[in-house]
Every structure is written in structure tokens, then in C-alpha cells.
Amino acid sequence: MEFDKFFSAAGSRLKSSKIRELMKLAGDPEIISMGGGLPDAEHFPFEEIRKIIDSWDGVKRTAALQYGATGGYGPLVEQIAEYVSASGVQTHGQAILPTTGAQQAIQLLTRVFCDPGDTVLVELPTFIGAVAVFIGYGADPVGLLMDDQGLVPGELEEKITGLREQNRSPKFLYTNPTFQNPTGITMSQSRRDEIYSLCSRYDVPIIEDDPYYELYFEGGPEDYRSLKARDKDDRVIRIGTFSKILSPGLRLGWILGPPDVVSRCELAKQSEDACSSSFSQVVAADYLAAGYVNQYTAKMRPIYSSKCRLMLDCLQKEMPEGVSWSHPAGGFFTWLTLPGHMDSEKLLLESIKHKVAFVTGSPFHVDGGGRNKLRLAFSNSSLEQIEEGVKRLAGAVRSML
């Protein structure tokens, strides 16, 4: 049967991205993949999770294996509130909704805020998973330039006023301010002040998606103070996730924000998955209560930091002139700029012959740009793989010059 004519407009918009297709070519086990933004699989806190599960009494076993409320497992909501308060976020008067990963948080918020044709503001480049959601809902993501301090405030103001002249007002600004996916760039503290006050002046809600902020290699928590921590007029909705501080396999994140927004997300969630995994929620509640999160992040910071340092050193040593890259202060990624004429999709095909893979730049760009960019993840490769992978990539770049 031919189904095409039966698909909805939204169903027809669903397309496999070019990068997914290209990444399928990278299935060869000899290929060193620096593509996926995966946490270090060597160091998942498996023993801690085992201890947690072994300690469960009948009540917790039932809570973990039974359906749960859409609004989340109560003790988890309390633990998240305590955890985020420690980073300077005021939780009083705010609501928290556990979600099935940060990905579902983005999706619920988009569903609650956007009709087809609505404008949303995003960074250039921005998180690919968010772009897919915005496009899926028929929204129109408008890209904002960044520099090495993050989103450029003048650009934000210009875009907002330009849109207003066309009677369009953005539904929200979506930002990933700390060790951004894909660039690794961090929005400086003064920029955060400026961006917040511009959004306040022009009355634009902010969705702050901040999965990596605890994984810093330099400075301390005060250097990565969130937009939500500045939120005097209740306009910031903050997305968090357990994917980088516990395990992405649990598929657990959360939305923290004004109750009228969060309660709508909860209503939307009812018809999506009824509740996030009860099992994951009970594990995560106990993980936070036991203080394992601080132990884990303290352990992972130097591990990610040394992987990043090695990758940057290898890039410096191996890459031909004309290639540059970002210098992340935390997180999982560095972002490469190739010589202007070089196309990262063609380079990927060449790289696969050299047995190395990465993610191409253009899918992160909502303006069709980024052809000469690419993202490298250092998070889930061993030190040996990083060294060898960068060497192979440099070989592929040289063969295209």
C-alpha cells in the first residue's frame, strides 16, 4: 500500500536527517566515532544504582514498578528542587515537572507555546534535537549570531525589532548557554545579564536548556550562574536532565518554571506518555538524596577535562593551517571551522574512508549555513581513540585540500 497521501502535514515533514543517513555509514567497528554526544560509558555510576535498588523496601519497589502520576514521583520533585536550589535557582513559587529526558521537555514546551508559523529565536548554531522539534511543530526558528562569549545581544535586539516590524513576536528564545551543544561556547555572565534584560525589555520568554553546566573544567559554579538565577520577572523556563549527571538510558529530565507554564506541560504530557519511567524516577530520587550526584560530577570533571585538553592538543599538532576550533571550558564538544571552501559533508565521506566520523555542521544551523563546520565530541572516546581519531581526521582534511 502507498501511504504517502494519508500522512498528515506534520507526518510528512518528518524526514531522516542527512547526518543520520551519513552516520549509518559509520557503523563499521573500525571507525572511531567522535560523532554522538554520549557520556563516558566507562564511568556510569552502575554500582551506586545497584546499591540504590538493593536498598528498596516494598513501598519503593511498588513505586518503581507501578504507573506513576503525570506530575512525577513526589520525592524526586522534592530532590530536584533541593538540587537546583544549590545552584542559586530560586524554586519558591516555581513548579517542577519530571520529563522523559530534556528532549521531551523541549517538545512539551514547544507544543504549549507554538502554533504552526510561529517564530522562535535560537542560537546559530543550536542543538539539533531542538531544531527537529521546532520544525516538527511547524514553527519558524530564526537564528541569532554568537561569538566566543555566546549569543550577541545586539543581534538579539535587531532580530526582535525586525520581527516586530513584520508584526511577528517570537514565542520564546531557546538557548543552551553553558558549554553549548554543538560549539562548546559558554555565554559569559555579563552576556547573560544583557540577554536577560533584553528579553525582559521586549517581553520574550526564555527557555534555558542547560544539561552540561556542572561539567566545567575551569572556574566554579559561580562562573556558570544560570539565566533562571537572574529571573526577577518569572520569564525563564529552565530545562534540566539526568543524562549527563547520571545516565541518559534512564531518559529523565525536568522542566522548572512558572506554575502556569509547567501545569500546561503536565496536561500535554498526559496524552504523550502518561508518566516518565517510574523506575528511573525512584532511582534518580535516591541518587540525589544519597549525594551521589556531587561525587559523580566531581569524578567526571577531570576525566572530561583531560579528554578535551588532549583533543585540543592533538588538533593543534595535526590539523593543517586554515582549520580552527573552539576552546570549551566544559561539556562534551569542540566545534571546528574548516577552510571556507571545504564542505563538511564531503569531508565526512572522505573521513569514513580514513575510519573516523564526526557530525557535520549544517544541521545545527537554521539559516542553511555551517557547511564548513563540524562537531567533535571528546566525551565518549578513550584517550587513545582521541589521539588516533584526530590524526585520521587531519589526514582526511589534508587529502581534501
Cα Rg of the chain (Å, integer): 21
* Residue from 107, 175, 181, 334 binding ligand PLP (CB under 6 A): 181
Q: Which of 39, 68, 72, 101 is close enough to bind ligand PLP by CB under 6 A?
A: 101
Cα distance between residue 318 and residue 327, in whole Å: 16
For the record, the C-alpha cell of 235 comes out as: 520569564
Contacts of 97 (CB under 8 A, 6+ apart): 71, 72, 105, 108, 254, 255, 262, 265, 266, 269
Q: Does 333 bind ligand PLP (CB under 6 A)?
A: no
Helices in 86-169 by DSSP H: which ranges? 101-113, 128-136, 153-165
d(CA 172, CA 114): 9
Nearest approach, Cβ of residue 57 and ligand PLP (Å): 29
Task: Out of 123, 209, 286, 387, name the contact with ligand PLP by CB under 6 A.
Answer: 209
Please tell me the number of Cα atoms within 13 Å of 74 on its side-chain side.
2
Shorter beta-carbon distance to ligand PLP: residue 308 or 397: 308
Interface with ligand PLP includes 73 (CB under 6 A)? no
CB nearest ligand PLP: which residue? Answer: 101
- Residue 391 CB, shortest distance to ligand PLP, in Å, is 26
Q: How far is the CB of 318 from ligand PLP (least distance, A)?
A: 26
Instruction: Judge whether 278 and 68 are in contact, CB under 8 Å.
Output: yes
Interface with ligand PLP by CB under 6 A: which range of 13-21, 95-103, 266-274, 347-355?
95-103
Is position 280 an interface residue for ligand PLP (rule: CB under 6 A)?
Answer: no
- Given the rule CB under 6 A, which of 24-32, 90-98, 99-107, 273-281 is the region that contacts ligand PLP? 99-107
Instruction: Look at the block and give the residue holding cell 555579563.
Output: 190
Binding piece for ligand PLP, criterion CB under 6 A, among 90-98, 240-248, 282-290, 393-401: 240-248
Site string for ligand PLP, 107-146 (x = CB under 6 A): --------------------x-x-----------------
Of 253, 361, 370, 389, the one binding ligand PLP by CB under 6 A: 253
Q: Distance of CA 160 to CAs 3, 122, 143, 229, Å?
A: 41, 12, 11, 23
Least CB distance from residue 238 to ligand PLP, whole Å?
12
Give the number of residues in contact with ligand PLP, rule: CB under 6 A: 14
β-strand pairing of 140-147 with 119-124: parallel
Phi-psi region for residue 101, left (φ > 0), alpha (ψ -120 to 50) or beta?
left
Residues found near ligand PLP in the complex (CB under 6 A) = 37, 101-103, 127, 129, 176, 181, 209, 211, 241, 243, 248, 253
